[in-house]
Structure 1
Amino acid sequence: MRVKRFIGDNVAETMGKVKRDLGSDAVILQTRQFREGGVFGLFGKTKVEITAAIEEQPVSKKPVRPVNPERLDQTRVTNEAVYRPKAPNPEPFQNSLAGEYAQTSKTVSLEQELQSMRKLLTRMNQQMEGFGGEQVIWPVPLQKWADLLQERGVQPKLVKRLMRYLQQNLREEDWSVDSRVRVKLKEEIQQICHNTATIQPGVKKPRVIALVGPTGVGKTTTIGKLAAGFSIVDKRSVALITADTYRVAAVEQLKTFGEIIGVPVDVVMTPSGLKDAITTHEDKELIFVDTAGRSPHHELHMSELKSFLDKAQPDLTILVLSATMHSADQLKVLRRFEPLCTHLLFTKMDETVNGGSILNLLEQTNLPVAYITNGQNVPDDIEAATPDRLTRYILGEENRHA
């Protein structure tokens, strides 16, 4: 095996040198980053060093020279004169077997090692492809944090941003200290999740809050939790209005719930009916409006929703998103509903291992997060969103039901 080190300004350049010199069958043994030049390790230029290896081709045997017949006769005579028969000695045979066995063991061990190296190289290539074709190799102590973020559903580009932040804001000797890495990582994630705001009751007139979003995200259950929390716990005067006439079960659920907690519930069929119902409850501090689930791809449904909101003129319009949705679907829903909304609310945080999808979304919107729900219990399984609480969910530190 031939082993060689290659140095370049970045991974792509250095890998190019490896392929040009050793070919595409080369195996990566080690990768590291270091600084070259500068003063006392400062202001130096970052370099990438890759140690690679390639299996040597077996040495071909030398060609046999043609034998001169005359020399053959002379050799035969000489051999006959010197030859003395002896009893066979078993030791050379045994030593030969032992040597062959040792050589075979070494060959098997080498093949296993090479196979392990190939698997490592395959994993590295897959990692590089996952970052949009850009080759990214993190220092060994930080790699597990990149793996954690990806397992939590954080998008590759955002993982890269967070890892760069760790490299730039931690001393290299601290990369292996988990507690220090975690503190720095949480600082940056909290910065992305900094925009939070909860519901405040109205003073001279009711505060109208409408919940909107696609089907199946838990709007009706969430509005029940909010109503119960404000009416029973905070002792506020609350009214419920539902415009979700598409689902009879949802209407009955909300009416039954309203009776239990002593909150009036109105059912409206039209935008004008919604406006009249809001006027009826002008003596309340909070009015919650439940709307029908709308597909972001259905123009008629979105147009109907806009008509209801135009009449209601809510103070807050909260987009409800399920944490169990695929990150790409979450983003599509956000882009479609965003012009109509003022806040975000994430449900079903207890049902997903991909809490990092929230981070993907928050990086791309200025809408504040109001609340998080994490179960079916009313009104317990809902909490005000804070940067710290969101960060704990994103990193998988906050799962009360685990």
Structure 2
Amino acid sequence: MKMKKYTAPTMVEAMAKVREDFGDDAVILSSNVTKTKGFLGLFRKRSVEVVASYDKTNDQRAYESQVRSIQPVAQPESVERMQREMREIKQMLKDIKQVDHTLGKYPDELLPVLKRLQMQGLANEHIMEIGNLVFDRMKQDKTDFTEDQQIELIRSWFCDQLHNMQFGGISYQKKFINVLGPTGVGKTTTIAKIAARALLEEKKKVGFITTDTYRIAAIEQLRTYANLLQAPVEIAYNEEDFRTAIEKLKDLDLIFIDTAGRNYKEAKFVDDLTKLIDFSLDMETFLVLSTTSKEQDMDTIIRQFDKFPINKFIFTKTDETNSVGSIINLMMKYGIGMAYFTDGQEVPEDLTEASFEKVINLLLEGESHA
């Protein structure tokens, strides 16, 4: 049995290497996401480590043997997690095989751009539609179609798909800025960045309400930012506290609401928000998602929040991933635009107000500037 470890920036790229060496009969023994710190401990880089093997005679027996050696007594939740990861990896290999097979009908000069979109995690259906569009134009023109010309045609395709969606930050026309999202996506830091911009650039009087009473550290983090901005903070443990906080802060221009970071795959925690926050207020609501999360997990969270009036997405941690296609996939699926994306922890610097040009540049060129 042959065994080999692969390291790549994304799981898609790691699986491509596995398939190149071992083909479709590869057995994935383990997968792990690692992060290394960059300059001054910031800008962490994310990589994926995959251990794969190939045994033409007995793949499954080899896999089970390796699992037993790694984890002699597997707990039920560990087994379930490994089985889920195996299903996801098999589906990923299947998707790569499907795209690779379909890409074979396109000329060589078109493949680099399409494979770049594939590595970015753009949905296969979108890649195929883009490929057909560019290939048809190449056949019509009957001339060499440079990569720059391909990119411009692809930009026009995205423009058609996203033209009804709203881009840009807070409007400054609503008093309450409500920020939702699961734990670990960077909501509090993102709120601080937006509030600092409003204070420093627009000269607005800002304040904060936090409903994240489950974590002392979250309250202290928000207080630290508020002290730097010389802005008041109110804590709301229940609906009555929330109403009291609104009354105390009524003279401010903008009130930022930092909601609790919970596992919002569970409907119970979503329902708790409806009992605490009055969504009928003069309010803009943003859903914060991390680009380092699996697209399937982000999709689940979005569906859990479908009862809320989500105005725009905010995507964080774009500096920690090399594939941002999921951003486009989710925007197109739900018809929701983007307010901001973040690429670091510095307040308020590492915050980019979204525009169509900046989002497409992020996908096509890996750059956040138009």
Return closer, same or farther for 1:148/1:134 CA change in 2, 3 Å cut-off. Answer: closer
Alignment equivalent of 2:342, drawn from 373, 379, 384? 373
Question: Residues 209 and 233 of structure 2 are in contact (CA less than 8 Å); yes or no, is this contact kept in structure 1?
Answer: yes
Query: Per-residue deviation at 1:243?
Result: 0.6
Does the C-alpha gap of structure 1 residues 291 and 126 become closer, same or farther in structure 2, counting only changes over 3 Å?
A: closer
Q: Which amino acid aligns with 2:349?
A: D
Which residue of the other structure, out of 98, 116, 120, is the alignment partner of 1:148?
116
Q: Provide the aligned C-alpha RMSD in A.
A: 2.4
Q: Match for residue 170 of structure 2? A: 199
Consecutive unaligned residues in structure 1, runs of 5 or more: 1-124
TM-score of the superposed pair, with normalisation by structure 1:
0.63
**How much does 1:381 deviate?**
0.9
Return the match for 1:277 from 241, 245, 260.
245
Deviations 1:184-238 (A, max 9, x none): 1122223334421421224xxx610110011111100000101111012221111
Give me the whole-angstrom Cα distance separating, in 1, the residues matched to 2:262 and 2:244: 23
Aligned mates of 1:135, 1:289 — CA distance in 2: 47
Cα distance 1:395–1:135, how it changes in 2: closer, same or farther (>3 A)?
A: closer
The 8 Å contact of residues 119 and 323 in structure 2, kept in 1 or not, is answered as yes
- Cα drift, residue 146 of structure 1: 1.3
**Superposition map of 1:62-77 within 5 A:** none
Partner of 1:262 in structure 2? 230
Q: Assess, with a 3 A threshold, how the Cα gap between structure 1 residues 138 and 259 changes in structure 2: closer, same or farther.
A: same
* Higher mean C-alpha displacement, 310-319 vs 178-187: 310-319
Per-residue displacement from partner, 1:91-141 (whole Å, max 9, x unpaired)? Answer: xxxxxxxxxxxxxxxxxxxxxxxxxxxxxxxxxx97784249978632221
Cα distance, 1:165–1:224 mapped onto 2, change above 3 Å: same
**Change in CA separation of 1:315 and 1:175 when aligned onto 2, cut-off 3 Å:** farther
Structure 1 counterpart of 2:268: 300
Q: How does 1:272-351 map to 2 (within 5 A)?
A: 272-310=240-278, 313=281, 315-340=283-308, 341-351=310-320
Higher alpha-carbon deviation: 283-292 or 332-341: 332-341
Tell me which residue corresponds to 2:148: 179
Query: What's the CA shift string for 1:345-398, capped at 9, x where partnerless?
Result: 111111111111111111101222111111111001112110000001112431
Count residues with an aligned counterpart.
273
Contact conserved, 1:193 with 1:391, CA < 8 A, in 2? no
Give the TM-score normalised by structure 2: 0.68
Cα distance 1:188–1:135, how it changes in 2: closer, same or farther (>3 A)?
A: closer
Instruction: Return the letter of the residue paired with 2:318.
Output: M
- Whichever residue aligns with residue 200 of structure 1, its letter is S
- Bigger CA radius of gyration: 1
Say if 2:358 and 2:368, in contact at 8 Å, map to a contact too: no
User: Alpha-carbon deviations, 1:61-108, whole Å to 9, x = none?
Assistant: xxxxxxxxxxxxxxxxxxxxxxxxxxxxxxxxxxxxxxxxxxxxxxxx
Measured after TM superposition, the shift of residue 339 of structure 1 is 2.6
Given the superposition, is the C-alpha separation of residues 128 and 397 from structure 1 closer, same or farther in structure 2, using an over 3 Å criterion?
closer
Extract unaligned runs of 5+ from structure 2.
Answer: 1-92
Amino acid in the other structure paired with 1:362: M
Letter in 2 for 1:270: N
CA gap 1:182/1:338 in 2 versus in 1, 3 angstroms: same
1: CA distance, partners of 2:96 / 2:188 = 43
Kindly provide the amino acid, as one letter, of the partner of residue 356 in structure 1: G
Q: What amino acid sits opposite 1:235 in the alignment?
A: K
Indicate the residue corresponding to 2:201 in structure 1: 233
Q: Name which of 202, 216, 219 aligns with 2:184.
A: 216
SS at structure 1 position matched to 2:307: helix
Over the matched positions of the two proteins, sequence identity in percent amounts to 30
Hey, what does 1:383 align to over in structure 2?
A: 352
| Greater mean alpha carbon deviation, residues 143-152 or residues 390-399 | 390-399
Over 3 Å counting, the alpha-carbon distance change for 1:127 and 1:358 in structure 2 is: closer
